[in-house]
A and B are shown apart, each in its own frame.
Chain A
Amino acid sequence: MKLRELAHSRTGDKGNTLNVSVICYDVRDYRHLLQHVTPERVKAHLSDVVRGEVTRYELPLIGAMNFVLKEALGGGVTRSLALDAHGKSLSSALMDLEVPVPDEVQQP
Chain B
Amino acid sequence: MNTANSSRVVRLGAGAGYSGDRIDPAVELATHGALDYLVFECLAERTIALAQQARRQDPENGYDPLLEARMHAVLPIAKRNGVRIVSNMGAANPLAAARKTAAIARELGLGGLKIAAVTGDEVFDVVRGGDYRFEESGDAVAGFDERIVSANAYLGAAPIVAALQAGADVVLTGRAADPSLFTAPLIHEFGWAFDDWDRLGQATVVGHLMECAGQITGGYFADPGFKDVAGLARLGFPIGEVSADGSVVITKVAHAGGFVTAATCKEQLLYEIHDPSRYLQPDVVADFTQVRVVEEAKDRVRVTGGRGTPRTPTLKVSVAYVDGYIGEGQISYGGPGALARGRLALEIVRERLTMTGVDVSELRFDLIGVDSLYGSSLGGRSGEPYEVRARVAGRTTSKAEAIRVGNEVETLYTNGPAGGGGVTKSTREVVAVQSVLLPRDLVQPTFTIVEV
A: residues with CB less than 8 A from B are 4-5, 8-10, 12-17, 19, 21, 23, 25, 45-49, 57, 59, 61-62, 64, 66, 68, 74, 76-79, 81-84, 89-90, 93, 96
Residue B298 at the chain A interface, CB threshold 8 Å: no
Interface of B is mostly: mixed
Which B252-304 residues have a C-beta within 8 angstroms of A? 263, 266-277, 288-293
Contact A59 B323 (CB under 8 A): no
Say which residue of A12, A15, A62 sits within 8 Å of B136 (CB atoms).
Answer: A15
Query: Nearest B residue to A24 by beta-carbon distance?
Result: B266
Contact B271 A62 (CB under 8 A): no
Q: Which 3 A-B pairs have the closest CB atoms?
A: A48-B375, A12-B272, A21-B270
Inter-chain CA distance A54–B125, complex, in Å, is 37
Contact A83 B391 (CB under 8 A): yes
Known: A49-B374, A77-B45, A83-B373. A12 touches B290 (CB 8 A): no
Known: A4-B226, A61-B292. A17 touches B326 (CB 8 A): no
Q: Number of contact residues on B: which range applies?
A: 35 or more
Inter-chain CA distance A49–B372, complex, in Å, is 10
* B162 proximity list for chain A (CB < 8 A): none
Instruction: Contacts A23-B263, A62-B291 known; list 14 others, CB within 8 Å.
Output: A4-B223, A4-B226, A8-B263, A12-B271, A15-B433, A21-B266, A57-B276, A57-B277, A61-B289, A61-B291, A66-B270, A81-B362, A81-B363, A82-B364
Inter-chain CA distance A82–B395, complex, in Å, is 11
Say which residue of B271, B291, B323 sits within 8 Å of A79 (CB atoms).
Answer: B323
Inter-chain CA distance A62–B295, complex, in Å, is 12
* B266 proximity list for chain A (CB < 8 A): 21, 23, 62, 64
Contact B433 A78 (CB under 8 A): yes
Q: From residue A84, how far is it (CB to closest CB) to chain B in Å?
A: 6
* A66 proximity list for chain B (CB < 8 A): 270, 273-274, 276
